[in-house]
Chains A and B, each alone.
Chain A
Amino acid sequence: MTSRTAASRLPRVSAEVLARAARSVWRESVAGRIRAGALRDLGWPAGLRTLVWTGTAAAVIAALLALLSEPIRRSAELAVTAPGEAGVPRAWIWLLLVLLVVAAALFQVAATHGPWWLRGLGLVVTAGLMSIWGVPGVAAEELPYTLLTGAAVLALVVFCLVRGRLGFAWWEFSVLVVVIGAPLVGGLVELGRSNRAFGFEFTPAYLGQALALGGALVLPLFVAAGFAVANLAVGVTAATLRQAQRLPGRRWPYVVLAAVVVLRAGQSAWELLRGRLAGDDLSTFVPAVGVAAALALLVGGLGLLGRRSAGVADVTVLSEQASRIALPVGVALAGLLLPVILVTQVQGLLSSLGLVPFRTDRFDAAVIATLGTDYATLVIAAVLLVLAVVQVRAGRPAYALVLGCCAVAVLTQAMRFLTANRWPIRLDVDALNLVATAFTLLVAGWYVARRAITPDRALAVAGLLILSALFSYRDLLTDPVGSVVGYTGAGLVLVGIGWDFLTGSDWGNGSSRTFPTPTRVLLLVAKLMLPAILVAFAALVREPVAVSDLDAYARVGNQVLGTALLAAAYIAVLQLVVRDQSLAPDLATRVSPEPGGSGVAGADGIAEPGDLAGASVADAWPPPAEPTRLPPPPPD
C-alpha cells in the first residue's frame, strides 16, 4: 500500500506518465481481458478454424442485418401474419433461415461430441426445429413433406449415435446442414402452396416459432449480456483508479476530486431538475434507501461472518467475479419463464381436451405464472445469499460481495410481491444512484472536515463518483446502437454478446473428456450466433417481443447483474476510502487472492512492458517508496 509519505516523495506527473497510465488502463480493462478471454487456436483439429470463422461471419451478418434493418424494411415487401405485428421483410426470410440452419448445425456438431445430456438436448432442440417446418399437416399433399421430415429426424438421431462415439470431423457440419435444411426447404415449398390457398402468411409465423424455440435456449445469454456495460464501466474505473493512485504528486488528486464532485453534483442536479425522475415524488427514494440499507446490512453481515485475514474485497477482480456468475444467474432468472410456459402449455392441453375452459377466472395462467415467478425470485435470492456466506467463510470476500449484492438486486425484483402486490414499491436504480452519490459526498465532506482526506482517499472518492456518473450514463453506449437498430434493447444485447464472446471464451481453450475442444469452441460460436440471429429477427420485424421480449431480459440483466456489480464495486472502493488504502499496493507482495482474480497485474494476469502494475518490482514504475503494511496471505 502506498502511504501519504510515500506519495509525497513521488515525482510530478508528466504527459508521458499520463500516457503510460492510459495505455495501462486500456491494456488492463480492455486489451488484456480480450487477450485472456478470447478463443485461441491451440492445436485445433482440421476444419475447426473454418467452422469458427463461418459461425463468426454468420454472427456478423446477423448483426449487420440488425444494424441495417431500417433500410431493409423500407425497401422490402412485408409479410404480416397477424394484426398487431409489424411484419418481416419477405425477401430476407431466406437469409434468416440460412443463418438459423448454420447455427443449428454448429450447435448440433458441438452437442454430438459432448456429454450425454448435451447430446439429448441437442437432439430435442434440433429435431423440434426441423419438426416446426416439416410437419405442416397430415393432408395427402402434405404427406411427402412429413415423411421427409421424419426421415431427416431419423437420420439426425442415427448420425448423433454413430458420430458421438468418434472424434470431431469438419464434414459433420456439412452433413448436418443438409439434414437440418431439408425439412426447412420442404416446409417452405409446402407453405408457399398453402399460403396461397388460405390467403394467410404462414412462413413468418413458422420462422418466429423456430426462433422462439432457439431463443428459449439462449435467453440466459440475454440476461448475461445485459450487464456488459456495467462490467466494462467497473473494469475501466478500477483500472483507472489503480493507475491514478500510482501516479506521483500530492495536489492533483484533490484537483481531480474537486472536478469530479462538481461534475457529478451538477449531473445529479440536472437529473432531478430536468425530470429524470419525473412523476416521482420523494417516495421514489424510499425503496432506494431501503436497498442501500439492505446492502449496508449485507456488508456488515458478511464482514462479521468472514475471516478477518481475508481483508477487503479487491475491486479489480469484481468484474471477472461477476462475469463468472452472470450465466448461472441468467439461467436462473430466465428459468423464471419456465412456470409461465409450463402453466400455459398445461392449460392449453387441458382446454383442448375439454377438461378445463379456455379462459376462466379461477384458472388464469398469467396469475399463476406471475405467482410462480415471484416465488422463484425469492428462492434465487436466498440461494445467492447462502452462496455469499459460503464464499465469505472460505475467505473470498470479493466473490461473496458480488453474490450478496446480486441477491439484494434479485430481491428488488420481488419487492412488490413482498407487499402482496399492494404497495407500489419498486426500485428506481437512478434513485439508488443518487442516494449513493449523496452518501459519497457526505463521506467526502466528513474526511475534509476532519482534515483526513489523503490523496488516496481523494482518488477513491473520485472513483466512487465516477462510478455513479458512468452508471447514470449507462445508456450512452447502447442507445445509439439501439436507435439505429430500431429498438433500444438491441444495442445492449449486441454490445453484450460481442463483449462476452471476446472476453469470456477462455473456457473454449481447454479440453476434457466430456467436453473436448471442438464441443467447447462450437458451443461458444453458437452462443454468439443464436442471440445475434434473434436480435436480427426482432430488429427486422421491429418487434422487441417477436420471439420473446429480448429487450426485457437484457434490461433484467442490466438491472440485476449490472446494479449488483456496481454496488459491489462501490462498496469495495468505499472500504478503501474508509481504510485509507490504495488500490496500487506493492507489487512484490500481492498475488491474486481469488479464483478468476488477477491481483495487481493486468486483468489477464500477464505483465506488459511498461505496465505500471506489472508482475515484478523491476517492471513497476515508479518504484515503491518503502515497504508498508503487507497484505494478508492468500487464504486459498
Chain B
Amino acid sequence: MLQSLGEEREEARVWRTTATTVTATADRTAQPAALFYRVDGAVELLGDNTPGRGRAFRPALVELPADVVPGATWSGRGQVLTGVLAETRLSYTSTFRAEAAAGGCLRVSGEVAYANAPGTPGETERHRKLWCPGRGLVEAELQAGAGVVTTRTVAPPPSPERVTVRPPVRWTDPAGWTVRTNRVGTVDPNFGDYPQMVGAPTLVPPVVSASGDLYRVTQSGDLVGSTPHTGDLWRSTARMHPGGAVLTVSSFGEVFVVTTSRRQAVGYTADGIRLWTLDLPEIVKVAANRAGPAEAVLCDIAGGLRRVDLRTGAVRWQRDVGQGVELSPVVAGDRLVVSDLGNRQTAYALATGKQIWRTERSARATAYAGGVLFAVDREALEAIDPADGSLRWRRVADGTLAQLATVDDRAVVSTELATTIFGPDGTEVARLPPYTELTVAPGHLVGWTKTTAEAWTADGRRRAGWTPPAELFTKAIAQPVAEPAGLRLPYLTWQLDIWSAAR
C-alpha cells in the first residue's frame, strides 16, 4: 500500500480506520478490518485489509477530491493488487458524483468496477457515502453482488466485560531457566507472513496482558500486541492508536490504560477495543496504578489525582495534591499515598479520596509491602506507618540510593556499593552485590548490572547468574517484564528473549 505513494511516501499523510468486532470474550485471533486512506488533500483509498480480503489500489482510489463541490463528478482507473506477494493484479474503473445534502454535507455515490483483464468485466461495487464538514464520513453503504453493508453512526455498544486482574506471578526456580530468542513479526491471512515489523518500539515500558501477550508502544504512537505464533515467531495482534504520543501504558488483566500527550487517558481491551477516553487538564507521566479490582488511580504532573473505573472510565473521585507529582502514587492498604515535588507526602482514603494525613518528607521512590510504606531519599530507607504517616524506622544505606523494590514483605534498596534486603522491622536480611536495575516477583528478585544478571531468593540466596550478549544491554536497554513463568526481555529491534523454565 505504501508503495502506491511512490516518492511521496515520506511526506504523505495517511489515515487508518480500524473496525474491531465486539465479542463477549476477548478474541485475540480475530482480524480487525482496516482501511488506509491518503488524506493530504483529496481522500484517496490506498487499500484495505479486511477478513478474507486485502487489496492495494495503484494509483489510490479517489473517494473525495480536494476541490469537490455539489454536482461534481470524477472518475479514475488503475490496478488493484492482492495476494501475499501482490501477485494478483486486477484493474479498476471508478466513477463518482457528489450531491448536496442537509447540513452542508455531501452525498457521494458511484461505482467501482473490477476486471481481471481488459474487456473482462468482474465484480462491481456500488458506493453511497455521506461526508459532512467537521464530522468526516457519517454514513456508508456498500453494495457488492447481492449483499449490502451499511455503516452508520450509532451509540457505542456496551463496554465488553473483560478480566481486570492478572494471574499471580509464580516463578519457578531461576536455576532451571533457559533463554529462548524470539522475533515479533506480521502474520496476515491476506498479505502473508513477515518475520519483521515496520517501525521501531519506543522506550515506554512494555506490558503483559492476563493471557500473556506482550504489548509495546511504537514510535508512530501505536500500542501493538504480540502473541506466540509458531516456533520462535510471535505475531502482532491488536494495534491501538490513542492519538498523540503514548506516554505510559498500564496493564490490568485484559484492560489497558494508556496516557498520551493529548492530556488523555484511554482505556482499551487487550483485543484493541477502545473502552473510554478521559480528558485531563495535564498529562500523566507516571503509569496508572491499581486501586481496586476494577479501578485504577491516575495522577497528572500538576498533582490532579483521580480514581477511575477501568471498565467505563468513570471518575470515582478526584483530588488536587497541590504540587507537581513525578512519582507514581502508592496504594498502601486502604490508603493512597502521593509524594509530591514540594517534598510532601499525603495519604488519601482509597474509597473516598478524603485526606487522612500529610507530612513533609522528601522521597525519590516509594513502595508498599507487608503493611509498611517504604520511601527512600538519597541516602536512607524509611519505613512509614500508612495509618498516620509516622516514621517506624530509618536505615541509612551505604552509598547513594538508586533503586527501591519490594519482594514479599521486604524492601530491597540498591546503591553503587551494595544491594540490601531489609525486613519489615528494619532488620537487614541480606546484603547482595550492587545492581543498577531490579526485577522482582514473589519470592525472587533479579538484579541487573551493566553486563550481567543474577537471580536471588527473597532471603538472599543466589539461585542463578547469566552473562547475556552485550547487545541486550545496548539494544534492549533492559526493560525486563516479569511474567508468570519468568522474564521477558524485549529488544528495541523487536527481538524478544524469554527466560523461563524450558517447556
Contacts and interface: CB of A to CB of B under 8 A. Distances in A.
Interface of A: 70, 73-74, 77-80, 82-87, 193, 196-201, 274-276, 278-279, 281, 357-361, 364, 367, 416, 421-422, 424, 426, 483, 486-488, 542
- The A interface, classified by DSSP as helix, strand, loop or mixed, is loop
Nearest to A90: B261
Contacts of B247: 80, 83-84
B450 A196 contact: no
A426 B397 CA distance: 13
B489 to A, nearest CB: 15
A243 B263 CA distance: 55
Contacts, number: 105
A622 B219 CA distance: 76
Contacts of A486: 302, 324
B245 interface: yes
Interface residues of B, number: 51
Given A80-B261, A196-B13, A279-B361, 11 more contacts: A80-B247, A83-B245, A281-B394, A357-B470, A358-B473, A359-B451, A364-B450, A367-B416, A421-B399, A422-B399, A424-B397
B248 interface: yes
A418 to B, nearest CB: 14
A421 B245 contact: no
A197 B217 CA distance: 18
Given A275-B359, A486-B302, A487-B324, A74 B416 contact: no
A279 B391 contact: yes
Contacts of A84: 203, 247, 285
A501 B358 CA distance: 39
A357 B400 CA distance: 25
5 contacts: A74-B281, A83-B217, A274-B360, A360-B450, A361-B450
Contacts of B244: 78, 80
A193 B474 contact: no
B245 to A, nearest CB: 4
A477 to B, nearest CB: 16
B301 interface: yes
A358 B474 contact: yes
A83 B324 contact: no
B70 interface: no
A50 B81 CA distance: 66
Contact of B261 (A78, A197, A279, A424): A78
A197 B2 CA distance: 12
Given A278-B359, A278-B360, A361-B450, A198 B219 contact: yes
Contacts of A83: 202-204, 217, 245-248
A201 B416 contact: no
A426 B379 contact: yes
Contacts of A200: 219
B443 interface: no
Contacts of B380: 279, 424
- The B interface, classified by DSSP as helix, strand, loop or mixed, is loop
Contacts of B203: 82-84
Contacts of B302: 70, 486, 542
B360 A276 contact: yes
Nearest to B221: A199
A359 B450 contact: yes
Interface pairs A-B: 5 shortest CB-CB: A197-B10, A424-B396, A80-B245, A80-B261, A199-B220
B87 interface: no
B95 interface: no
Contacts of B11: 193, 196-197
B201 to A, nearest CB: 11
Interface string B387-401: 000010010111110
B449 A361 contact: yes
The CB with the most chain B CB atoms within 10 A, among A197, A278, A486, A487, is that of: A278
A275 B262 contact: no
Interface in B261-317: 261-263, 281-283, 285, 301-302
Nearest to A416: B379
A84 B342 CA distance: 20
A79 B451 contact: no
Interface in B230-276: 244-248, 261-263
Contacts of A275: 359-360
Contacts of A87: 245, 261, 283
Contacts of B483: none
A486 B285 CA distance: 15
A241 to B, nearest CB: 31
Contact of A278 (B219, B261, B361): B361
B382 A279 contact: yes
B439 interface: no
A103 B417 CA distance: 45
Nearest to B12: A196
A85 B202 CA distance: 13
A441 B131 CA distance: 81
Contacts of A193: 10-11
B323 interface: yes
B394 A279 contact: yes
Given A87-B245, A193-B11, A424-B379, A78 B263 contact: yes
Contacts of B281: 74
Interface string B197-233: 0010011100000000000010111000000000000
A84 B378 CA distance: 21
B356 interface: no
B341 interface: yes
B248 to A, nearest CB: 7
Contacts of A281: 394
A245 B293 CA distance: 69
Contacts of A421: 398-400, 416-417
A298 B379 CA distance: 29
A73 B282 contact: yes
Contacts of A426: 378-379
A482 to B, nearest CB: 9
A200 B10 CA distance: 12
A85 B285 CA distance: 7
Contacts of A73: 282
Interface in B398-442: 398-400, 416-417
A598 B72 CA distance: 85
Contacts of A357: 470
Nearest to B471: A358
Nearest to B202: A83
A87 B342 CA distance: 21
Contacts of A79: 261
A361 B473 CA distance: 12
A79 B302 CA distance: 17
Contact of A78 (B217, B248, B283, B399): B283
Contacts of A416: 379
A87 B416 CA distance: 31
B341 A488 contact: yes
A73 B417 CA distance: 41
Nearest to A193: B11
Contacts of A198: 219
Contacts of B10: 193, 196-197
Contacts of A359: 450-451, 473-474
A111 B270 CA distance: 59
Nearest to A196: B11
